[in-house]
Amino acid sequence: MALEDHDYLKICAQLASCLSISIASARRQVDLAAAKQGIRDLLGRKAIAESLLQKAIAREKNDGIASAAQFDELLAALAHEENFMVED
């Protein structure tokens, strides 16, 4: 089912930007949350997307660090792990 509502896509794009993920991933998060709650209509999905966006914005404000910066920090190699390889 292709949901092509402009407002819905805009909210998903804002969520994706806030979380530093793709729009498709943001839409998947909304779809999963909607499925868990049994919501199938567009208005319900918009509400869920808006709720997820507000939670992401609040988390970013509370933590004082952007999701992208936090992700970059998690990906940084420690000095003793720099040359570690699992396989060739």
Q: How many CA atoms lie within 13 A of 2 on its CB side?
A: 1
Assess if residue 65 is contained within a domain. Answer: yes
Question: What is the token pair recorded at 4?
Answer: 């092509």
Could you give the number of structural domains in the chain? 1
Q: Is residue 78 in a domain? A: no
- Residues 12/49, Cβ–Cβ less than 8 Å: yes
- Return the closest-CA partner of residue 7 out of 36, 43, 39: 43
Q: Which domain holds residue 44?
A: 16-69
Per-residue pLDDT tens listing for the chain (88 residues) = 454 689 999 999 999 998 888 999 999 999 999 999 999 999 999 999 999 999 988 888 887 666 666 666 666 766 666 666 666 5
d(CA 52, CA 17) in angstroms, rounded, equals 12
The two structure tokens encoding residue 37: 């709650």
